[in-house]
Structure formats: C-alpha cells, structure tokens
Structure 1
C-alpha cells in the first residue's frame, strides 16, 4: 500500500471541515473549534489542520480574527462569489430580486413551516416590531433581516437558503441606506406577512410579500 500523500491528506481534511460548514453544524457567524480540537476531530497533525483551515480562508468560507479565533462567514465558495458580485448592485435591482425571492419563500414557508418555525417567526416579529424606525439603527436593520431570513428558513429549501445568505450583506446595505433616507417600520405589513405564513395561507403570504416589496420598489425611479 502506498503512503497517503500529504497534499491528499490536506485535501481530505479540507473537505471534512467544509462538510461541517455545509451541514450547518458550524453555522455562519459561529467560531470553529480550536486547532487542538480540530486535530482531535480529524485525527491529523496541526500542520495539516492549519493548511486545511487556510484553504477555506482563501475560499472565503472562513475568516481569522486576531485574538478571537476563526469564524464561518459563508456556507460555500459559490456563496462567497455571489456575495462579491451583489456587493456593487444598485438598490432598485436588489429590491426587485428580493421581491421575487421573498415572494416565493413566503409561499413555500406557508406550505412547509413547522412548530419550530412558527415559534421563531413570532419571536423575531416581536423583536422587529419593537424597534425604533424613526431613526436609523443597525439593530433595527439586523432585526428586519433576521425575520426575512427566518421565512426563507421556514421554506425548508437548503439551496434557496444558501443563495439568500449570499445576498444578505447586500440586503442589509440597501435596508440601511433606505432607512437613513426615509425611516419607516412597516410593522403592519410584516405582521400580515408572518400571520399568513403561520396560517398556512400560501396565496396571502405571497401577496403580502409582493405588495410590501412592491411598495418599496415604487419609491425608486425606473432606470
């Protein structure tokens, strides 16, 4: 039997770590295990683990933070590439894409949401509606984004969620820019959307998402 080549071993460990991210066991925003923990997890040496982690840093899935550790920032290389592409998109273009994505997600969520999704949506809706939308606040934007993402999660479509996650930084940018120019909470519209999803009313959920985002798009001039 030929010995395992070091490059092949690094590739194997890299794929093992990538699988932890793709599966959601290492969620976006979470810190991955320490180097000693990774050597135990993979059964390999520190140098191999270090190079595997570095490969995922180069791929845009992990980020090293000085004095804090290494964190998951993307679920795949595709998500990273899409995120970079969307970064410079026009606000109206992003909202038009969101209208299509959020409308479909709302319909799927109304059909597929489970008890955990319902509990999560009610909690996030309450958090969002408690925000002060009279003035721009990063916490308000985060609460809004988290609620909309939870609807996508409730669609129970992993590919959909990965694509949506790649767009999130751009969505946050657009929401923040709009909040500065024209603060508005749209609490009633978001409540209607969540209630339709919880009630399992697909048509009403799609209509609520479409009308809400359509009203936002109408504020922008045509190209």
Structure 2
C-alpha cells in the first residue's frame, strides 16, 4: 500500500517506499514502473522530488532508465543490486570463489536434509537438460543448469544460505555467458551434474562437497588458461 508522505525528507521517503514495493514483489524485476504522473499523485509529491528519488534508486542499482523504454526494475533487493554493481569490477575467478563457498556448503547440507520432493526436482532438471543437449539448445540448457544449482541450494533447507544465493543467479548466468563469449567449447555432458545428484540422493556429504570442489577447480583452470592466452 503506497502511503502519502508528510515528513521532511520527501526524497528519502519516496525512495524507501519504492524500494519496499520492489522487495515485496509488487514491482517485479524487468517490469516498467508506473507513469510519472500516476506516481506523483499516489506519493503526493512534486515531479522534482519523484525524479530525484528515482535517480537515487537508479544509482543504487534497483532501477534502470533507458532511452526510449522508460524506467524498469533492475534488481529485487539492495543486496542483489550491490552484487550486480560489484560484479562489473570483479574478476571471473572471484565469482568462482564465492560460488565455491556457497555451493559446497549447500551441497553438503542438501545431502543431509534433501527430501523426496527435492530429489524429484533435481532429477527432472537433469532429464530436461539431457533433452536440451540433444536439441543443442544452449540457452535452454544453461537456464536448466542454473535451476539445478538453485534447487541444490533450496534442498539445503538453510534459509540464510538460500537468501544469499538468490542474488547471485543472474551473475552466474552472466558468468556462463562470459565463458561462452571467450570461445570456451561448451561440453554439455560435463554440465549435467549426475554425480552430484547421486551423492545428494545417497546422502553422501563428502562426495557432494568433493564434486563441487572438483567442478569449480576445473572451471578455474579453464579461466586461468583463457587469461594466459
């Protein structure tokens, strides 16, 4: 519910309320925000105040303004926005370090806490990935691969870990795309993660953690090689 403002710093209030609308899901990522006149009326503020609040959120990374397409929601929360701003400056190897830390812990916890529903979801992503591989549908394969990784994190049954991982999803997708643009041969069979699924199903925490370590180390070698070329 949008509240009319009546305190001194109107810009901060409007920015805060817009941020709440985004974080609550009322305004979805990728969605264009309502027209300026509508927002001025609902917030009961001037055009200058509204525009200043929007500029602040654009700078923070929550909103994005493009010529000809208006202002859209760029990130679902402040953490996600901060990560996206940072990733522009961070190296692929740094992203890999973060993935290793989170996904290794998630894999171990998933092996311990996974349910039958979790296993069914993981298996379905693998089967769908196989089909995408047969069709050489790279984009679909990558989407399914990331969904698999997310499902492993969800299976950890650790809400904080899930919340920390969520903002990384777009970064991970970009990470894979970056590797592709650097002419890395895309080997579908190495991205199916059947061994990880097997370890989680068998509740083998050591095997699950070892798989993630080996997988990330293999990616690291590819990246280092590309940097040397």
Q: TM-score range, shorter-chain basis?
A: 0.5 to 0.7
Q: Which runs of 5+ in 1 are unaligned?
A: none
Q: Which runs of 5+ in 2 are unaligned?
A: none
State the alpha-carbon separation in 1 of the partners of residues 30 and 123 from structure 2: 24
Task: Report the aligned-residue RMSD.
Answer: 4.2
Q: 1:105 to 1:73 in 2, by over 3 A?
A: farther
Match of 1:209 in 2: 212
1:74-153 to structure 2, matched below 5 A, reads 74-114=75-115, 117-132=118-133, 137-153=138-154
State the alpha-carbon separation in 2 of the partners of residues 182 and 189 from structure 1: 15
Q: 1:139 to 1:25 in 2, by over 3 A?
A: same
1:166-177 to structure 2, matched below 5 A, reads 166-177=167-178
State the alpha-carbon separation in 2 of the partners of residues 204 and 50 from structure 1: 53
Q: Give the structure-1-normalised TM-score.
A: 0.68
Q: 1:202 to 1:75 in 2, by over 3 A?
A: farther
Give how far 1:119 is off: 4.4
Match of 2:184 in 1: 181
Q: Give the structure-2-normalised TM-score.
A: 0.67
Bigger relative contact order, structure 1 or 2 (CA pairs below 8 A, ≥6 apart): 1
Would you say the 8 A contact 1:106–1:205 is kept in 2? yes
